[in-house]
Amino acid sequence: MKQAIPHETIKRLALYLRSLRQLSRKRVEIISSEKLTEHIHASPAQVRKDLACFGEFGTPGVGYSVKKLIAEIESILGLKEKQEVALVGIGKLGSALLAYLGFEKFGFRISALFDNNPEKIGKKISELKIEDVARIKEVLRRRKIKIAIITVPAANAQEVADRLVAAGIKVILNFAPHYLNIPKGVIINTIDMAIELQSLAYYLTHKEQSRASSTTTNLT
- Contact residues for DNA, defined by CB under 7 A: 4, 6-9, 31-34, 42-46, 48-49, 51-52, 56-64, 211
The string of DSSP codes covering 27-44 is T--EE-HHHHGGGSSS-H
- Residue 144 interacts, among a second copy, DNA, none and using kind-specific CB cut-offs from 5 to 8 Å, with none
59 vs 57: CA distance, rounded Å: 7
> Which CB, 84 or 132, lies closer to a second copy?
84
Closest contact distance (angstroms) between CB of 109 and a second copy is 11
Q: Does 103 bind a second copy (CB under 8 A)?
A: yes
Q: Does 95 bind a second copy (CB under 8 A)?
A: yes
Q: Are 55 and 72 contacting, i.e. CB atoms less than 8 angstroms apart?
A: yes
118 vs 43: CA distance, rounded Å: 51
Q: Are 31 and 63 contacting, i.e. CB atoms less than 8 angstroms apart?
A: yes
Restricted to residues 134-173, the positions that interact with a second copy (CB under 8 A) are 146-147, 149, 170-171, 173
Q: Does 84 bind a second copy (CB under 8 A)?
A: no
- Residue 26 interacts, among DNA, a second copy, none and using kind-specific CB cut-offs from 5 to 8 Å, with none
> Which CB, 45 or 166, lies closer to DNA?
45
Helix %, strand %, coil % for the chain, to 5? 45, 20, 40
Q: Which of 29, 41, 59, 109 binds a second copy (CB under 8 A)?
A: 41
Q: Does 63 bind a second copy (CB under 8 A)?
A: no
Which residues, in sequence order, are CB contacts of 163 under 8 Å at separation 6+?
133, 136, 137
